[in-house]
Structure 1
Amino acid sequence: MTNKELVKQFYQHVFINGEIDKIPEYVIEDYIQHNPKVKTGREAFINFFKNFLQLKPKFEIINLCSEGDMVYIFHKCTLADGSINKVCDIFRVENHKIVEHWDVIERGVEKIQSLNNNGIF
């Protein structure tokens, strides 16, 4: 399985299907987290994600690409309250497991008045 396929499966099982019990299949125990609102480690990610699922997020993958050990996934995340986030998650994969994560998040994009007609996704 390629790194890109691994991250795509991880997103399908965990983010889209909400299968939290599958996280250990994809993420190492001492997973390095760069999001300042989430502690490092797999258990911290699991706890964060359990709480995040209460917002009833819906994910739509816009683009997924990889280069070497890095996988980038650009997606739209719509919450139950109607707010929309534009997100790029970046994962480093080692030995068929996710070992490190960064993200870039633009929140509340449904309120943006664009100066062009290109759309934000």
Structure 2
Amino acid sequence: MLSELSNKEKVFKLLKGIETGDPDAASVVNENRYVQHNPHTGEGSLGLAELFKQIARTGPKVTMVRAFEDQDFVFAHMKYEFSSVKAAFEVFRFEDGLAVEHWDNLQPLAGPNPSRHGMLDGPQQSSDLHLTETNRTLVREYVNEVLINRQLQRLEDFVSGTGFIQHNPEMRDGVASLHEALSLRENDRYALTYTTLHRVLAEGDFVLSVSEGLWRDTHSSFYDLFRVQAGKLVEHWDTIEPIPPRSQWKSDNGKF
């Protein structure tokens, strides 16, 4: 029964329904209150049903790599094999046991990176649940101070100087590579610019930040997943997705 499942298990049921065609998967969603923030997808359950139907024709495969709960939110890290292969973050908000709001961020799967890490490998289970709020605060401060305000001299206040594992497909392990990426300039502008932090979700040592900004002059959404250990960021996964112009949105809900 649906009521016996955790919200995390409900998200797995819903997303796996893309692959299996399980007609009961849609029962996870409150059809009357569902708010869709993917700008490529129409409003409400009808838009979701149309999307699932379209994807089903490609013989999709859905893999939930890791998933976490933060009060009424579930955030999951996924591998989608549709017409192409993508890494994705999915975020759902629940009310009264049903999903009522959805955000996501997808990027074509690439890699391994120069340190031989893929976009999805690494630890999958959270720990240190008693440190959830401490770790959330750490990531929020890191994003605001280092990524948005570009206080790069503070990098090692937040990031482990001895064991930072990087899953971004273009970067290598260590603080130096991160510093290089944040310092990179193209056409007299920074290639990567964070402007706004929208949300920070956490379960134990895993923390997801949702931000927007510019990647090589393209308005983009940044989902950054961090693993925290002993008060330092020790591992990082991410997806970067262009945000289409408002004229192309299929609803007025916005990406965030």
TM-score of the superposed pair, with normalisation by structure 1: 0.87
In structure 2, the partner of 1:100 is 235
Residues of 2 paired with 1:47 and 1:55: CA distance? Answer: 11
**Offset at residue 111 of structure 1 (A):** 3.2
Number of equivalenced pairs = 119
Counterpart check, 1:36 vs 2:169: yes
Amino acid at match of 1:64: V
Give % identity. 29
Root-mean-square deviation (Å) = 2.1
Q: Deviations along 1:54-113, whole A, 9 cap, x unmatched?
A: 2372421111111010010001113684x2101110000000000000001102x14361
Letter in 1 for 2:142: F
In structure 2, what is the equivalent of residue 47 of structure 1?
Answer: 180
How far apart in 1 are the matches of 2:179 and 2:215? 19
Residue matched to 2:208: 72
Bigger Cα Rg: 2
The aligned counterpart of 2:151 is: 19
> Does the residue aligned with 1:11 lie in a helix, a strand or coil?
helix
| Residue segments in structure 2 that go unaligned for 5+ positions in a row | 1-132
Deviation per CA, 1:28-53, whole angstroms, max 9, x where unpaired?
Answer: 12200000111111111111111167
Q: TM-score w.r.t. structure 2 length?
A: 0.43
> Which residue, 113, 116, 119 being the options, matches 2:251?
116
SS at match of 1:104: strand
Write the distance in 2 (CA, Å) between the matches of 1:47 and 1:40: 12
The alignment partner of 1:12 has SS state of: helix
